[in-house]
Chain A
Amino acid sequence: MNRRVVITSEAAITPIGDSKNTIAKNLQNGVSGVKPLRKDDLLGSHIHSGVYGTVDYPIEYDFARKYRKTMGPVSYYACKVVWDLLAKAGLNQDFISSGRLGVAFGSIHGSPSVQRNIYRTFFQDDPAQSEKISAVDYLKSMVHTTAVNITKMFNITGRVISSSTACTTSSQSIGYGYEMVKYGMQDAMICGGADEYDTTTVAVFDNLLACSTAYNNRPHLTPRPFDADRDGLVVGEGAGAVLLEEYEFARNRGANIIGEVIGFSCNNNGGDLILPNLEGICQTIRIGLQSAGISPETVDFVSAHATATKMGDVIESQAIEQIYGNCTPVTAFKSYMGHTMAACGVIETILTLYMMEKGFIVPTLNLDHIDPRCEGVNHVRELTRAPIKTAAVENFAFGGVNTNLIIKAFLP
């Protein structure tokens, strides 16, 4: 079985907006969603990096208590994007609960804010205090909390996949969801990822010397993917979801098809868990293209993972140059919002779909002086009117996990 898989709905919460119009407008106007790191009672004041890709606009949640009671902040994000996605999708409830719709959704570590409260209580070493750990704290904080809160809220009974592979979490969600539909295990999959505001993630990357620290007083000037003056990544928050459907099923029900997934690859570097690996990245790009049955020349846009770390951007540039040469336009979306962690793959896929639909390509923000070691590719430097027919979305994660998604503008 080898079925076509189309994308029929999307929704996102990002540091630059939560609607297609707002996000597209902010992309076109070069608006950054990076803000000062919020004050909290944790390590915030001790972390060197003082910037964060921040969702600072109000979000209205209309969730009944029976759903809220098992949700940490990360599941609020996850359920909200799926709520919006299903509202646009027009699927009927019989199908949603038929067992033929599954969920592939993850976060990098459940809900850290709920986990923090558990540990705070736990380490008080007082038996009376331990009773204060709520019966639902595990349900709120477990690694697959997003996926199962989604299934509960919408009464979804199909397969559940909950990847938690750091920066490739949601690109894996889309890829594995794609394979579920392509090979007939499911007729549709809700795929995505989410991560909540969390300073512990910043602290971890800060201690690895991977975070941006030189722009704390000018947050919008960082991250600076591929720029000579880049100084590291900016952690961010957000969520995104796409609905994948088998083509005939989507067509028969009159779904609004906004794109097609035609290829996916995932591999591992097979060694170091942190350092980027040129061979591994080149291999995942090649396998993704092979999976789609296309040559590199067919790809007319590359969404780079490009976190703005010193070595990561250099290795990715070399990989893109090796596979695509220096003609294919390359943009680093993280320059607009920082690194939304588990959500980055799906958000970058959605932004690519917006550009496909509206026929434009945005530049990488803050790319003032290209690092000579990153010069071998066609960096997009200004807003360009250009059609995208086929795009590659690259993501790479700690642990040596690499993914490459190939998406295509829909043609019947």
Chain B
Amino acid sequence: MTREELQTEVYKIFREQFEIENPGPDEDLKDMHGFDSIDAIELLIELEKILDVSLNQETKKDAMLHIRTVNQICDYVQELMPRQVPSNQNAV
């Protein structure tokens, strides 16, 4: 998945799941759109589905510290992707 494709998917999640329309790529999602920790957990679940990976709990906790903007979300997912395993195998 290219960066552009990933960003498109992230925007789609924000639009359909969180009713947040086209946030700026570097806008603080919490401050400007009320995107809170509950939303962040739900986002990670959505990303797992799209990427067909299973994030372990430590990875999720770490992600919670780093996903404040759309760009940060995309950076983080791209960084994680090689380290994760398909969802039909045990998470690491």
Contact = CB atoms under 8 A, between A and B. Distances in A.
Interface residues of A, number: 11
Contacts of B19: 64-65
B91 to A, nearest CB: 10
Interface residues of B, number: 10
A134 B41 CA distance: 9
A135 B18 contact: no
A43 interface: no
Interface string B1-21: 000000000000000001100
A134 B38 CA distance: 10
B52 interface: no
A69 B19 CA distance: 11
A64 to B, nearest CB: 7
A66 interface: yes
Contact of B41 (A65, A66, A128, A135): A135
B27 interface: no
Contacts of B18: 65
A135 B42 CA distance: 7
A66 B42 contact: no
A131 B41 CA distance: 11
A126 to B, nearest CB: 13
A134 B34 contact: no
Contact of B38 (A64, A69, A128, A131): A69
A136 interface: yes
Contacts of A64: 19
What are the 4 closest A-B residue pairs judged by CB atoms, nearest first?
Answer: A135-B41, A65-B19, A66-B34, A136-B38
Interface of B: 18-19, 34, 36, 38-39, 41-42, 45, 87
Interface of A: 64-66, 69-70, 128, 131, 134-136, 139
8 contacts: A65-B19, A66-B36, A69-B39, A69-B42, A135-B38, A135-B41, A135-B45, A139-B38
Given A65-B18, A135-B42, A139-B38, 11 more contacts: A64-B19, A65-B19, A66-B34, A69-B39, A69-B42, A70-B38, A128-B87, A131-B45, A134-B42, A136-B38, A136-B42
